C-alpha cells in the first residue's frame, strides 16, 4: 500500500458539534443531560444548557464592561472579523457552534444587536466557571483542608497579575502559588462558602479543584517479551542497524537527540546508559523508602526502554533500548518543591530552554479512584496545560508522548471504554495505549485505558508493546524490597527486569520519535514539528482491532520502519509524502496535487492524514 501525508498547521480554531434533540429546564445545574440538541439557539456546557437571545437580550453592567457569550450565525470570515474589530470587539475564548466569550460595553452590545451576522447573546454565569464538585461542595479529600478548598483559578489572557491577586483576595482567597506569566493561573486556598463569590469575578475564566496525586502507570509483570517487533520478529533495538529485504539501510540510534523523561523519581545511572543520563530533579518521595524504590525502579525501566545500550552481558539480546545514543534528562513530578504544581509544563520548558530536549516521555497519570472517577474522559485544567504547552512551543518542536493509563480493567462499567484519565485527554499530545496479553502480541492489553474522551475524540492515538518488556532497573536487594516487582530472576547480575503497563508502551513510542527526529533532520536539516510526527505515527500505524481507527487501539500499532521509509523516500522538489501548509481564517483554502504511482491500484488505496494543532479548549464545555 502506498501512503501519503496531507498535513496543515491550523492557526485558528475550527470546531463544530453536531446537535440532536432534547428539552431543558433552566434550573438543571450539572444534571447528566444529553450532550446534544437540535435547537440552534442552545449550546451545552458542563453546567447547563445556554439559550441565546438577540433583540430581547438584556443584562446588567456592574462595571463599564462585562464578559458575555456571543453566538455568530456562521464561522467568522475576514469580513466579519473586520466588522468586529472596527467596533473594538475581540473574539477571546471559543466555546462551540460559533460561540465566543467577548468583553462588551453597553453601547457595543446595542450596536451588535442590529447586525445580521450575530445570532444571539447569553450571560456568563458563575456556575459556568466551576466544576460540579465545587458547585455541590463535594470536594475530594486531596483538595480539601477542613472547610477550605485548594483550587486552580484560570484568568482571561488580558488580565494582569496585580488585578488577579487583588480581586482573588477581595473574594476571600489566599494565594498559595502563582505561575502567572505562562499559565495565567493562581493556586488559591478559599473557604468553600466563598467559591461562588470567586466565580462571580468577571476576570475569572475557570475554577477547578487541584488535580489528584500523580501515579506511575505500570503493573506487575511476568514472562520476557521483546521491546518491539517488526514483521520479521526483530526487536526494535536492532531495527535500524541492518539491511532490509527491500534494500533499505538505516543507521539510526538517536545520535544528537535529547529526551526529557518526567516520572515519579529520577532514574538510576545504570551502566547501560553510558553517562548519557542527566539527573535534573533529584528529590525523592519523603519518609517511605519502599515507595522510593518503586519510583526509581519505574523511572529507570522507562528510561532504559527509550535509550539504554544493549548490555554486554545479555546473551538474549533483549535488554537494549530503542535509541541507544540519545541523551536522557530525568525530571521528577513528585517532590520538586520549587516547581509550580499546577504548571506541569514547567519541566518541559526547562528541558527545551536548557537542553534542547523537545520530546518528553510521560509514563504517569492522575490517580483515579471510585471517589474521583468523574475525571475519566474529562478535559481538565491539566489537559489544557498540556495543550497550551505544545501549541506555544510549536516552533521549538515540542512533542509530548503520554501513557494512556491502566484503568481498562478497573472501571468496567462500559466494557473498559471511557477509562482515560483526564491528563491523557489533551488534544495536542500523543496518547499511547498498550498491546500484548497472554502471548497475543497484537491484542489490546487488559489494563490499557481506552477512549473515547467525553467529547467523543479518538484516544489513544496509537498503541505499542507494553507487555512484559525487559529494561534497566537497579540493585535493590540491600533492602526489604524483594516483592517490589516480581520475576526479576532472569537477569540477576545485570539488573534488568520485565514490567507491563502503558508506562512501558509510552517509552517505546518516545524512542521511535527520537529516531524519527534523527531521520527527519538528516533529510531536512531541521527537526520535525509535533504535527508532522503525529501524522507519521498515525498514518503508518498498523490497523488493529475493528477496521479503521477505534477507541482501544486508536489508529493502530506504531510502525517505526514505515515512518522512517516515508521520511527518506522523498522527492526533494515537492517534499515527497509530507505536505505542510497554514490556513488562517475560515474561508481560506489550499489546493495540492497528489501523484499516485502507476502500481497503486484500486485494492491499494492512498491514505491521507490531516493533522493539526489546536488552542486549548475552553473548560466550561
Mean pLDDT of 342-358: 85
Q: Where are the beta strands (DSSP E) in 493-550?
A: 496-499
- Residue 279, by phi and psi: left (phi above 0), alpha (psi -120 to 50) or beta? beta
Lowest mean pLDDT, pick from 117-126, 195-204, 301-310: 301-310
Q: Rounded to an integer, what distance in angstroms lies between the CA atom of residue 377 and that of residue 425? A: 6
Q: Is the pLDDT of residue 40 over 70?
A: no
Which of left, alpha, beta for 232 (phi over 0: left; psi -120 to 50: alpha)? alpha
pLDDT at 84 over 60: yes
Q: Positive or negative CA dihedral for 156, 161, 166, 170?
A: positive
Q: What is the mean pLDDT of the chain?
A: 79
| Whether pLDDT at 10 is above 90 | no
pLDDT confidence tier of residue 473, bands split at 50, 70 and 90: confident
> What mean pLDDT do residues 533-546 have?
92
Q: Check whether 563 has a pLDDT greater than 80.
A: yes
Look at residue 602 and tell me whether its pLDDT is greater than 80: no
Tell me the average pLDDT across 34-60: 75
Cell of residue 346, nine digits:
514547567
Report CA Rg, the chain: 25
Which pLDDT value is given to residue 621? 66
With CA atoms as reference, report the closest residue to 488 among 344, 342, 309, 300: 300
The C-alpha atoms of residue 348 and residue 329 are separated, in whole angstroms, by: 10
Place of cell 500505524: 541
- Nearest residue to 559 via CA among 72, 46, 3, 182: 3
CB distance 380 to 280 below 8 Å: no
pLDDT tens track for 328-337 = 999 987 654 4
**Mean pLDDT across 391-418:** 92
Q: What is the pLDDT of residues 142-162, one digit of tens each?
A: 899 999 999 999 999 889 999
Percent of the chain with pLDDT over 70: 76
Q: What is the mean pLDDT of residues 272-282?
A: 87
- Mean pLDDT, rounded, for 70-98: 88
Write out pLDDT tens, residues 168-180: 999 999 998 877 8
For residue 246, pLDDT over 70 is answered with no
Residue bearing cell 515527497: 576
30 falls in which pLDDT band (50, 70, 90)? low
Read off the pLDDT band of 235 (50, 70, 90): very low
Query: β-pairing, 359-362 with 258-263?
Result: parallel
For 66, phi then psi, to 5°, come to: -155, 155
231/167: higher pLDDT: 167
Please state, in angstroms and rounded to a whole number, the distance separating the CA atoms of residues 440 and 437: 5
What domains sit in the chain, N to C, each tagged with a CATH number?
Answer: 1-126+584-621 (no CATH), 141-211 (3.30.70.80), 253-568 (3.40.50.200)
pLDDT at 448: 93
Residue 172: predicted pLDDT: 95
Run of H or E including 383? helix 381-392
DSSP state letters, 539-589 = HTPBP-SSSS-BTTTBT-B--HHHHHHHHHS--TTTTTTEEEEEE-STT--
Residue 96 has a pLDDT of: 83
Amino acid at each position: 500500500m502506498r501512503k501519503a501525508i496531507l498535513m496543515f498547521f491550523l492557526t485558528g480554531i475550527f470546531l463544530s458539534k453536531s446537535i440532536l434533540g432534547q428539552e431543558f429546564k433552566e434550573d438543571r445545574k450539572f444534571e447528566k443531560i444529553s450532550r446534544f440538541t437540535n435547537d440552534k439557539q442552545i449550546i451545552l456546557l458542563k453546567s447547563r444548557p445556554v439559550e441565546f437571545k438577540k433583540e430581547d437580550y438584556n443584562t446588567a453592567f456592574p462595571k463599564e464592561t462585562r464578559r458575555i457569550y456571543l453566538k455568530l450565525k456562521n464561522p467568522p470570515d475576514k469580513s466579519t472579523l473586520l466588522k468586529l474589530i472596527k467596533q473594538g470587539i475581540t473574539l477571546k475564548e471559543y466555546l462551540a457552534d460559533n460561540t465566543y466569550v467577548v468583553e462588551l460595553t453597553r453601547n457595543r452590545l446595542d450596536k451588535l444587536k442590529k447586525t445580521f451576522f450575530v445570532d444571539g447573546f447569553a450571560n456568563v454565569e458563575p456556575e459556568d466557571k466551576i466544576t460540579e464538585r465545587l458547585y455541590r461542595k463535594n470536594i475530594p479529600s486531596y483538595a480539601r483542608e477542613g472547610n477550605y478548598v485548594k483550587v486552580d483559578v484560570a484568568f482571561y489572557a488580558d488580565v494582569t497579575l496585580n488585578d488577579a491577586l487583588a480581586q482573588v483576595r477581595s473574594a476571600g482567597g489566599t494565594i498559595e502559588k502563582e505561575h502567572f506569566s505562562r499559565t495565567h493561573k493562581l493556586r488559591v486556598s478559599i473557604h468553600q462558602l466563598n467559591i461562588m463569590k470567586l466565580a462571580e469575578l468577571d476576570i475569572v475564566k475557570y475554577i477547578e479543584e487541584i488535580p489528584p496525586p500523580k501515579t506511575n502507570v505500570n503493573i506487575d509483570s511476568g514472562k520476557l517479551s521483546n521491546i518491539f517487533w517488526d514483521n520479521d520478529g526483530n526487536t526494535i533495538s536492532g531495527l535500524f542497524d541492518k539491511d532490509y529485504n527491500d534494500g533499505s539501510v538505516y543507521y539510526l540510534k538517536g545520535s544528537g537527540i535529547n529526551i526529557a523523561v518526567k516520572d515519579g523519581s529520577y532514574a538510576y545511572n545504570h551502566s547501560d546508559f553510558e553517562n548519557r543520563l542527566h539527573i535534573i530533579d533529584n528529590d525523592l518521595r519523603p519518609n517511605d523508602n519502599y515507595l522510593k524504590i518503586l519510583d526509581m525502579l519505574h523511572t529507570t525501566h522507562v528510561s532504559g526502554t527509550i535509550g539504554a545500550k544493549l548490555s554486554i552481558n545479555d546473551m538474549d539480546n533483549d535488554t537494549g533500548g530503542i535509541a541507544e545514543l540519545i541523551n536522557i534528562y530525568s525530571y521528577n513530578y513528585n517532590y520538586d518543591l520549587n516547581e509550580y504544581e499546577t504548571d506541569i509544563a514547567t519541566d518541559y520548558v526547562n528541558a527545551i530552554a536548557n537542553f534542547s530536549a523537545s520530546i518528553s516521555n510521560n509514563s504517569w497519570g492522575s490517580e483515579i479512584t471510585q471517589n474521583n472517577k468523574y475525571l475519566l474522559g474529562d478535559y481538565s485544567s491539566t489537559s489544557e496545560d498540556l495543550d497550551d504547552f505544545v501549541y506555544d512551543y510549536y516552533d521549538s518542536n515540542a512533542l509530548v508522548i503520554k501513557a494512556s493509563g491502566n484503568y481498562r480493567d478497573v472501571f468496567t462499567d462500559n466494557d473498559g471504554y471511557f477509562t482515560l484519565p483526564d491528563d491523557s485527554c489533551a488534544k495536542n499530545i500523543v496518547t499511547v495505549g498498550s498491546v500484548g496479553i497472554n502471548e497475543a502480541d497484537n491484542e489490546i492489553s487488559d489494563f490499557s485505558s481506552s477512549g473515547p474522551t467525553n467529547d467523543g475524540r479518538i484516544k489513544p492515538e496509537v498503541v505499542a508493546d507494553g507487555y512484559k518488556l525487559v529494561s534497566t532497573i537497579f540493585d535493590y536487594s540491600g533492602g526489604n524490597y524483594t516483592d517490589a516487582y516480581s520475576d526479576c530472576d532472569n537477569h540477576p547480575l545485570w539488573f534488568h527486569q520485565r514490567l507491563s503497563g502503558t508506562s512501558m508502551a509510552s517509552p517505546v513510542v518516545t524512542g521511535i520519535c527520537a529516531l524519527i527526529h534523527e531521520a527527519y533532520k538528516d533529510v531536512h536539516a531541521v527537526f520535525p514539528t509535533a504535527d508532522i510526527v503525529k501524522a507519521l505515527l498515525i498514518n503508518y500505524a498498523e490497523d488493529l482491532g475493528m477496521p479503521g481507527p477505534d477507541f482501544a487501539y486508536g489508529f493502530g500499532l506504531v510502525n517505526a520502519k514505515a515512518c522512517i521509509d516515508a521520511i527518506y523516500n522523498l522527492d526533494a522538489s515537492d517534499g515527497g509524502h509530507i505536505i505542510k501548509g497554514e490556513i488562517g481564517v475560515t474561508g481560506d483554502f489550499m489546493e495540492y496535487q497528489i501523484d499516485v504511482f502507476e502500481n497503486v491500484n484500486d485494492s491499494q488505496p492512498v491514505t491521507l492524514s490531516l493533522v493539526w494543532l489546536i488552542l486549548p479548549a475552553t473548560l466550561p464545555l
